[in-house]
Structure 1
């Protein structure tokens, strides 16, 4: 265990949205590092849900509540007395945001404000990582992708709500936490399109592929040529944890926005990712619209890329698994789930594999061997 990982031993951590895909992986990893984790969530996000598959409902403290309920959330934070807060609770689906725009803004903006207010009023909190999205940026990225200083915006309710969440954090940070005047240091984290075992959400490529395996049918891709910054779920989570460590130890230098995305040379279209995942899972190849057919559904950006140079230089964070490895580990998780394997053990094994790969990459980088860098 590295010195930074030892920081988590005995730390009290509160995770909003801990029953979700990312939240479950984060809670498991932090517990493996010795943290005392409390979750705040109103419900299971899906059926099945990784949280249940890992048996966490029986042994992880869970305060049931909605982030839109400010009083309930404040009480939960007061009772937990956390050292560190991760805010992951959200309405995370672009297509659902078109159907439920007001709910999306209420959860993603008002919910974020409630978390920040609860942190402001709880003196035990020293660091808070507010997770937003790579879709919070306006316009089209140039070069290697969006950088943290690019303008915020959004062409759909989800993206706009995440841009608003970023502005909300900025307002709270300057009003209540700047120049060391507040109890906590606050940063935002913007990650790419995440894949990994345990995701069962609607309208996402990997869960759709899993359902295709179970039904014996193929899926139809809406935007086969769209390019996304695909990465395994452990990649951004390692970034969130690294950022929280820096905030806890020296927050004034890190209380800002951060990108966590794959390397620029790992571009992959929706069709490429879906085809590789189908081959790994034994699913039928996905179908695509005929040439000249109008695109289905509401607007979705054709290209998304993130430039994570700042995180690499200032946090010492870098991607560990190539996109192909991310696909392999994701498919492996679901294959074992199909066979009824103990999923907590499988997830813990993948976390250890990731930690080992990260340590090897770090050692190679420090020794100056470019051949081993991702």
Structure 2
């Protein structure tokens, strides 16, 4: 009997790499990962030996802006399960590159779903939207449920509204089993340094190594966030496609620990032996023109459907994130930009 096949777009990212590891360890599926030829493979380091041996995991090269490459990748993978994670995923960057963000995220999702319609119509497909679609939510509407209206606060968020609606459209128009997630803040090892909490951890690691002055540069510290661990997130994504998937369904997914961005910073500084010497300075370049400042999810629908619960506490997530950056700084020294 042929083993199931999974296709992960964006496999080299934080979530994609953790998801690949989870599927290799907890299923018998073969895993196909879509990435750009120039994507760094650092996050896949633990899987490279398997990739080299062709042992249950294979990389396919393509770009969300290139229709033919996406069609070819889907034909090669012939997936039973798809996790569409690839995106221009940095909200702050989207203010500088809005058209690139819209093309990559909206048109890119259309390319992926159209290729699946032609070559793997029966696949169970996870379309990764974002909690950013809700944007500026009034406090009286917290926690945010799936029926909350969209009020996107960045070009990235607007692109994810498009992604969200495209996913639902392919379910309704073509009978495809697309499922949409609006994942709230999730972090941990391998988190990109353009995101606030990872930037803090990276700067602290550089300070501990005496590579920069003991100053952490920050943006808006007042935004409220609910934090989940990336390793809990990938368990949720596996449950999404395997526990009675409902075509066109959308779910909020997130953690249970809510705090301000400033409290995240305080936690990370508190883990550092240099904490008492670290100063905090606001950097105007780190402020968004508009901020989605109340991101607290109602996740009851997803939990009731799948039985999933987050397991990793906030403090462990933050310690592991800081330890990840300590390891990266130890390996690469002062070759990092301070972002």
TM range (shorter): 0.7 to 0.9
Q: Where in structure 2 are there 5+ consecutive unaligned residues?
A: 332-339
User: TM-score, structure 1 length as denominator?
Assistant: 0.77
Partner of 2:337: none
Query: Structure 1 43/100 Cα, relative in aligned 2: closer, same or farther at 3 Å?
Result: farther
Partner of 2:335: none
Confirm or deny that 1:112 pairs with 2:109.
yes
Q: Report the Cα distance in structure 1 between the residues aligned to 2:238 and 2:282, rounded to whole angstroms.
A: 40
Partner of 2:42: 49
Q: Report the Cα distance in structure 1 between the residues aligned to 2:274 and 2:241, rounded to whole angstroms.
A: 39
Q: Report the Cα distance in structure 1 between the residues aligned to 2:141 and 2:152, rounded to whole angstroms.
A: 20
Partner of 2:8: 15
Partner of 2:58: 61
Residues 109-148 of structure 1, C-alpha deviations (whole Å, 9 max, x = no match) = 0011111111111236420101111101154154542111
Give the counterpart of 2:311 among 278, 303, 320. Answer: 320
Task: Say whether the 8 Å CA contact 1:194–1:232 is kept in structure 2.
Answer: yes
Q: Report the Cα distance in structure 1 between the residues aligned to 2:202 and 2:240, rounded to whole angstroms.
A: 32
Give the counterpart of 1:164 among 147, 156, 162. Answer: 162
Partner of 1:37: 31
Task: Say whether the 8 Å CA contact 2:193–2:202 is kept in structure 1.
Answer: no
Query: Structure 1 203/232 Cα, relative in aligned 2: closer, same or farther at 3 Å?
Result: closer
Q: Report the Cα distance in structure 2 between the residues aligned to 1:187 and 1:92, rounded to whole angstroms.
A: 19
Give the counterpart of 1:91 among 88, 92, 109. Answer: 88
- Aligned residue pairs, count: 317
User: TM-score, structure 2 length as denominator?
Assistant: 0.84
Partner of 1:213: 205
- SS of the residue 1:82 aligns to: coil
Q: Report the Cα distance in structure 2 between the residues aligned to 1:54 and 1:63, rounded to whole angstroms.
A: 15
Partner of 2:270: 279
Partner of 2:174: 176
Structure 1 vs Structure 2 CA RMSD: 2.7
Give the counterpart of 1:194 among 186, 200, 209. Answer: 186
Q: Report the Cα distance in structure 1 between the residues aligned to 2:320 and 2:290, rounded to whole angstroms.
A: 31
Q: Report the Cα distance in structure 2 between the residues aligned to 1:79 and 1:138, rounded to whole angstroms.
A: 37
Q: Report the Cα distance in structure 2 between the residues aligned to 1:155 and 1:80, rounded to whole angstroms.
A: 36
Give the counterpart of 2:235 among 235, 238, 243. Answer: 238
Confirm or deny that 1:204 pairs with 2:214.
no
Q: Where in structure 1 are there 5+ consecutive unaligned residues?
A: 1-8, 178-183, 341-374
- Higher strand residue share: 2
Task: Say whether the 8 Å CA contact 2:79–2:120 is kept in structure 1.
Answer: no
Task: Say whether the 8 Å CA contact 1:213–1:282 is kept in structure 2.
Answer: no
Offset at residue 216 of structure 1 (A): 3.4
Partner of 1:71: 68
Query: Structure 1 255/283 Cα, relative in aligned 2: closer, same or farther at 3 Å?
Result: farther
Task: Say whether the 8 Å CA contact 2:218–2:280 is kept in structure 1.
Answer: yes
Query: Structure 1 172/268 Cα, relative in aligned 2: closer, same or farther at 3 Å?
Result: same
